[in-house]
Amino acid sequence: MSSTVSSARGLGLRINIVGAIGAAIILFWVAVAILAPLIAPYPVGKIVAFDYFQPMSSSFWMGTDYLGRDMLSRIMMGARYTVGISLAGVTLACFLGVTLGMIAAVVGGWFDLILSRFLDAFNSIPSLLFGLVIVAGVGSSLTVLIVTLALIYAPGSYRFARALAVNVNAMDFVTVARVRGEGIVYMVREEIFPNIIGPVLADFGLRFVFIVLLLSGLSFLGLGVQPPQADWGALVRENLDGLSYGAPAVVFPSLAIASLTISVNMLIDNLPYRIRDRGE
Amino acid sequence: MNAVVARLVVQRLGIMLISLLIVAFAVFFATEMLPGDVAQILLGQSATPQAVAALRTAMHLDQPAILRFVYWLGGLVSGDLGRSYANNMDVAALISGRLTNSLQLAGVTTLFSVPIALCLGITAAMFRGSLYDRIVSIVTVSVISIPEFMVATVAVLVFAVYLRWLPALSIADQVHGIGELLRIYAMPVITLSFVVSAQMIRMTRAAVIDTLNTPYVEMALLKGASRRRMVLSHALPNALGPIANAVALSLSYLLGGVIIVETIFNYPGVAKLMVDAVSTRDLPLIQSCAMIFCVCYLLLILIADVIAIISNPRLRNR
């Protein structure tokens, strides 16, 4: 059981074609996010065309936006915000949730009970609403966004990790370690975590999708990434007036979000059985 | 047995109230953390210090936050939602009209989406593994994993731009005649129905398939019952509880959808009111709207729980 990490990697190679396509699209967007300033054909904030909402053409592959800026360049930079913020948010959420979940499972008792009840209650606030309230109170900045997204999705991650950890916690080798007198940190790091990492990674992916959707939703409402920067949700919002003409400036950012979220789902649904299903 | 059910329902109600209290706490403190003096902001730069001090006392701003939380909570319970900062109207008056609009939207959506979703979900489970099932599954997963505003965007592109059946984003506050009413509702309802149905189809399908895996359905299969008979008369009656649970749970997705849909179609409901309040930083209005949404959400989840308890006797003696 202790070699789960390496065996997961070994299994990961034997992935079917749909999962591979999903992985390829994800890698593509990550690469675009990293390389955006180098490969964008035009400066991002610069007005390059005289006409707004231009259709697709050889010089502007995805048309132009409501000010006549190149859409392709803006979507490339948008990838940075959407992928970057979501990744940071989901990492923080899963780190908090999984750590607390494992500790709660190992410690048990009152600590577990109170934390679980509290986080369950937290979980019962609709996510978009919670985001709205926090952004209304504190204002929107990249840090606030990342922390808010993490706070919204940490309780779910906690619940998931705790359920897994409780099962592992009942196993003999954990009892042995406890009898040996190991501390909480050792138990969590050496005994529990290696045995739940597969499902936790799958959960990480799903939560990433939720966070991308929520971030896009917030930006769409004008409360996420603030102009002049724009993530994909904000790009849709900016160009919403072009919807009536069917302008590509509205369609392409939406397609970008959909391609990212659907490919993450495709990847997770086609992960090797052993990684995915131990959680259920 | 009814006493057991009643006790469980009361217990769930208690849990819901505790959740609501924690939610209220979170909502209040998230919005009260604002930097700056509300009284100063309300009265403007030219206000005299005496006027600011008087308003601070009147609004209990000179008291500790926890006391203000208690005052606010007391107000909520007794129906006094406070006054809007932006236009100095009673929040209750602002919300009441909008709430009916939102509830109408939600109601019409429910009427449309529930029958469609149930049919699709049950038939997909009936022909599990067929091409039909796969298409339904792929479409529902796709709809779930794209943002709500994209569903709306696609709906507008299809129905307004290419087919030209419906107006794009122009929705008037005043309605004349039934035709116009239908046209106004059509786009938001189509969008919301898509979002909610996708969840409902998936959960319904899962619930029916769960019962299909039970020994008594296998028995029906072995004795030579047709697929239709197996699903409709053996599996379905036992899946009704989980399905009703699934319906209530997926209706809670209406809330997220409603916020986006009301904004994109400029529909005069509570969600639009709240988004506008966020941009003007009208805290009492935001707090009240948030609480209304949370109450609706928790109620739907409570209904789902109660249905699950009533329909499954095994859940009763825990």
For each of chain B's 318 residues, which pLDDT tens digit applies? Answer: 677 788 888 888 888 888 888 888 888 887 776 655 666 666 766 777 787 777 777 777 777 777 778 888 888 777 777 777 777 778 888 888 888 888 888 888 888 899 999 999 988 988 888 899 989 988 898 888 888 888 888 888 888 777 777 665 555 555 556 666 667 778 888 888 988 899 899 888 988 888 888 888 888 888 888 888 888 888 888 888 888 888 887 887 787 788 888 888 878 888 888 888 887 777 788 888 888 888 888 888 888 888 877 777 776 664
Nearest residue on chain A to B142, alpha-carbon basis: A262
Does residue B66 fall inside a structural domain? no
A90-110 average pLDDT score: 92
Q: Does B311 touch chain A (CB under 8 A)?
A: no
Q: Give rounded-to-5 percent helix, strand, coil for chain A.
A: 75, 0, 25
pLDDT interval class at A28 (50, 70, 90):
very high
Q: Please report whether residue B239 resides in a domain.
A: yes
Nearest to A126 among B148, B169, B297 (CB): B297
Nearest C-alpha neighbor of A74 from the set A213, A280, A227? A227
Chain A nearest C-alpha distance from B27 (Å): 7
B11 touching A, CB under 8 A?
A: no
- For residue B196, the enclosing domain spans 3-34+81-316
DSSP B283: H
Residue B26 domain flag: yes
DSSP string covering A17-44: HHHHHHHHHHHHHHHHHHHHHHH-SS-T
From B144, B142, B183, B151, select the one nearest B267 (Cα to Cα): B183
pLDDT of residue A7: 45
Q: Domain residue spans in chain A?
A: 79-265
Asked if B153 and A254 come within 8 Å (Cβ–Cβ), the reply is yes
Q: Which residue of B has its CA nearest to A248?
A: B157
Percentage helix, strand, coil for chain B under 3-state DSSP, each rounded to 5 = 80, 0, 20
Above 60 in pLDDT, residue A168?
yes
Please report the pLDDT score of residue A146 as a whole number.
92
* B169 at interface of A, judged by CB pairs closer than 8 A: yes
Q: Which two tokens stand for residue B121?
A: 């979900």
CA dist B156 and B148 (Å) reads 13
The answer to whether the CB atoms of B286 and A133 lie below 8 A apart is: yes
Kindly state the DSSP code that residue B33 receives in the 8-state scheme: T
pLDDT given for residue A246 in this prediction: 63
A6 band by pLDDT with thresholds 50, 70 and 90 = very low
User: Residue B51 falls within a domain, yes or no?
Assistant: no
Contact (CB, 8 A) for A253 and A176: no
Residue type (1 letter), B177 = G
The enclosing domain of B263 has a CATH number of 1.10.3720.10
Q: Would you state the pLDDT for residue A198?
A: 84
State which residue of chain A sits closest to B151, comparing Cα positions.
A254
> Which residue of chain A has the CA closest to B289?
A129
Q: How far is CA A244 from the centre of its chain?
A: 31
Chain A residue with Cα closest to B22: A121
Would you say domain A79-265 falls under CATH 1.10.3720.10? yes
CB contact residues (below 8 A), chain B span 267-306, against chain A: 274-275, 277-279, 281, 283, 286, 290, 293-294, 297-298, 301
pLDDT score recorded for residue A87: 93
Our CA-based measurement puts residue A257 at a distance from the nearest CA of chain B, in whole angstroms, of 7
Compute the residue count for chain A: 280
Residue B105 domain flag: yes
Token pair belonging to A41: 């054909």
The tokens for A108 are: 């048990």
Q: What is the pTM of this model?
A: 0.83
Write the residue in A124, A220, A264 that is nearest to B149 by C-beta: A220
B185 belongs to a structural domain: yes
How near does any CA of chain B get to the CA of A47, in Å?
A: 25
Structural domain contains residue B299 = yes
Which tokens belong to B202?
């998936």
Least reliable range by pLDDT among A5-9, A158-162, A196-200, B283-287: A5-9
Q: Which of B134, B142, B145, B253 to mutate to test the interface with A (most CBs of A within 10 A)?
A: B145
Number of domains in chain B: 1
Backbone Cα Rg of chain B: 24
Distance CA A50, CA A47 (A): 8
Using CA atoms, how far apart are residues A97 and B201, in angstroms rounded to an integer? Answer: 30
Angstrom distance (rounded) from CA B136 to CA B302:
29
Give helix then strand counts, H and E, for chain A.
12, 0
In a mutagenesis test of the A interface, which of B28, B150, B163 is the best target, namely the one with the most A β-carbons within 10 Å? B150
